[in-house]
Amino acid sequence: MLIFALVLVVCSVMVIRQINLNQGKHLELREAFILLYTKGYQPQAQRLFNRLLDEVDNLSNRQVLDDFQRTLTLVNPLQSESNNLVWQYHWTVSKEVERRSWTTLERALKLADQE
């Protein structure tokens, strides 16, 4: 039983460590994309942009919100800038936030309708 508990603890630590590494990699990827794009490295930024788009569905809600807030400071969300990769990524993340929060919004509306 002691060996089982030890294996369980080690596995738990490894899982938590891997989650933290994955979150750190996404953050690094996002910041590298923003840096490359703002400095004019268009082809490299485009490659990172494509990788970010591939990851959006697998991100946690917290990561999606962090990306939304980070890109919101760099773009004007009310003005369409379809040639701006940061704006495109912001728009994609914004739609993902909206899609994910729909059930939360429905629940909030139901609570508001209850007496």
Instruction: Tell me the mean pLDDT in the region 52-69.
Output: 90
- The count of domains in the chain is 1
Note the pLDDT of residue 115. 67
Residue 30 lies in domain: 2-113
Note the pLDDT of residue 50. 96
Confidence of residue 37 (pLDDT cuts 50, 70, 90): very high
**CA–CA separation, 29 vs 92, rounded Å?**
16
Longest CA–CA span in the chain (Å) reads 62
Angle at 85 between CA 77 and CA 99, to 5 degrees: 55
The answer to whether 63 touches 28, Cβ cutoff 8 Å, is no
Nearest CA among 87, 81, 78, 76 for reference residue 45: 87
pLDDT, tens only, 1-10: 899 999 999 9
Instruction: Tell me the mean pLDDT in the region 61-65.
Output: 88
